Amino acid sequence: MTVKQDIEDLKQTIHQHDHLYYVKNSPSISDQEYDALLRRLRELETAHPEHITPDSPTQRVGGKVDERFKAVVHPVPMLSLDNTYNVDEVRAFHQRVLKGLPDVPEDSIEYVVELKFDGLAVALTYENGLLVRGATRGDGLQGEDITANLRTLRSIPLKIDTESFNRIEVRGEVYMPKKEFERINAEREAEGETPFANPRNAAAGALRLLDPAITAERKLGIFIYAVGFLDNNPFKTHYELQEKLDALRFPINKHNRLCKNFESALVLIEEFRDKRKELDYEVDGLVIQLNSLAHRKKLGETSKFPRWAVAYKYEAEQAVTEIMDIVCQVGRTGSITPVAELKPVLISGSTVSRATLHNEDEIKRKDVRVGDQVVIEKAGEIIPKVIRVLEHSGKRAQPFKMPNVCPECQAVLSRLDGEVVWRCVNSACPAQLKERLKHFSSRKAMDIDHLGPAVIEQLVDSGRVKNFSDLYTLKTEEVAALERMADKSAQNLISAIAKSKSAGLSRLLHALGVRHVGQRTAILLARKFRSLKTLQVTIYDELEKLDEVGPVIAESLQAFLDRDSNRQEIERLLEQGILMEEQGDAPESGGLFDGQQFVLTGTLTRFTREEAKEKIQSLGGRVTSTISKKTDYLVAAASAGSKLDKAQQLGIQILDEEALQKLMESG
């Protein structure tokens, strides 16, 4: 036998044992025997590097990711599911299915019911049997390339049989087992770090680490639940397709059920209401979907949801605990939010010790006081909320009163007419500065990796950072001197800060934290004015007339740019080399589509949605998400949904992709 054949045999043997251990949970050899196989493979590959291939078990953990995760456009959109919260809503879904399939006998309609995992959706693409790309769901149209990190999950096959198809994309949910979540949080607390809020956040964070070796240590799991595309589809049902995926060694959840009728699907809702709590992963509901792929195709999708599937969400988990104290925290805009300090209680897989009370009016409405027994609920929120106060007898604490001064800087608080929020108006308030810095460095703003809350806390408390521009004057040795910051971590942060200088105008506008100017508005302003210098001299009337801006945003933006302290800070940022122009081509003034409004719906094939949008905008047009009387064109591709119906009712001109392309070229 040749060395190459020895290596191939070892690879296949190890892949088989990985599948038995990580997918089937039925190992057939000891850990020592497995390690011996892997050690032998490494020895052979080291001696004969010409035989090392990407699908080798030794190649799961690669080098560090040096750059930001690259964008990946999904060839078929990753739609979300419409949610239901009671059986009546699920029955209404079934009636819609029957209405959409009038020629299909009800007793022949089958459903597949699967657990709805509380994790992170991803897409895995295989070409000629090899895993070539792994991406996050993102916004459904575009995600991030996290291939290096996904390769570390041993339940994901690096190579599959190519007999049936050469190119396939499968979709699944990455999760962190509850035991692993508890282990990691125990370690973080022992090291003085903030524990993760829940397993989903921990899994999502692990998949975005720049070092795949650390991701590998997190012991993430995955369940494959769907196929995005494949080049040869001989299958007639979803269940049949799942059986094929199982045969290809993809991790398929063992609780998936084929239901011969709708009532059988309803029975499973009750079966898993309590059973799901015994599982080693978070499950927040069930997915009920048609089994027949032909029926799915006939029903199609809306712009957001497939019409052939629905998610049943179990009611949010509640718990009873005691309010130990009510404190106030300061947000980046100076808003004062009351928060209940709770007697710690376990809920939805994590220990909760705080819950938001929203505002003063909400506290009065619920009559929440220190010492009360309360019901709290965690419905997908990191900080749970207080639902109600339990009946009480005996003496209670005095009603809560909002403070007159800021709990951080002691400045007098104010509450404007018509608002429910009290605010600290001291722009030098350190609590506000900390929150503004968190926002400034966030992913959708300047995207400064490694600038976490603990680092910000120390930089502000020490007085070293008093504004955004101070970040760009930090030295490596200063950062390395902070608590729990090694030399390498300090260098990583300094590099990330330097890299953020070229983020561009739209990110900078969003990062500055102008009230009412969110990410979408920042992009619109950057594309329109191209530079911050131009924006600074733009008059209010011109701003107000812009689509999607209006008087409130225009007034807020002008007030921000006119304030001396803000002008000085912008000048300091400019001196530090921060890019204040928008990169890329500007939309043409007076272009072919000047002043015209487009809506895109359905699954585009000639362009990605983003490509179509950018081309329309480059010709002076505007792309919105909703149909209205102002819409000039609806571009309707395959599986167009309710937007097509509405456009027809309003008499809006409808284009297919070919007509859109011809219209673009006619200019």
Q: What number of other Cβ atoms are within 10 A of residue 313's Cβ? A: 17
Q: How far is Cα 248 from Cα 254, in angstroms, rounded to an integer?
A: 15
Sign of the C-alpha dihedral computed for residues 521, 527, 529 and 535 taken in this order: positive
DSSP of 2-33: -HHHHHHHHHHHHHHHHIIIIISS---S-HHH
Name residue 138's amino acid.
Answer: G
Nearest in space to 33 (alpha carbons), one of 14, 49, 47, 16: 14
Identify the bridge partners of residue 327 per DSSP, sorted by sequence position: 339
Q: How far is Cα 344 from Cα 119, in angstroms, rounded to an integer?
A: 24
Q: How far is Cα 625 from Cα 615, in angstroms, rounded to an integer?
A: 16
Name residue 486's amino acid.
Answer: A
CB proximity list for 536: less than 8 A, separation 6 or greater: 561, 567, 570
Q: How far is Cα 350 from Cα 171, in angstroms, rounded to an integer?
A: 27
Crossing angle for the helix pair 564-575 and 550-562, nearest 10 degrees? 70
Identify the bridge partners of residue 597 per DSSP, sorted by sequence position: 622
Q: What number of other Cβ atoms are within 10 A of residue 214's Cβ? A: 14
Cα separations in angstroms, 132 against 24, 164, 244, 465, 660: 24, 18, 20, 43, 33
Cα separations in angstroms, 197 against 194, 216, 347, 378, 431: 9, 20, 11, 11, 22
Task: Kindly report the backbone phi and psi dihedral angles of residue 323, in degrees, each rounded to the nearest multiple of 5, phi listed first.
Answer: -85, 115
CB 610 within 8 A of CB 73: yes
Nearest in space to 492 (alpha carbons), one of 523, 447, 450, 528: 450
Q: What number of other Cβ atoms are within 10 A of residue 589's Cβ? A: 7
Task: Name the active-site residue from 11, 116, 159, 434.
Answer: 116
Q: How far is Cα 609 from Cα 75, in angstroms, rounded to an integer?
A: 10
The answer to whether residue 116 is catalytic is yes
Q: What number of other Cβ atoms are within 10 A of residue 240's Cβ? A: 13
Q: How far is Cα 421 from Cα 414, in angstroms, rounded to an integer?
A: 9
Which of the residues are catalytic?
A: 116
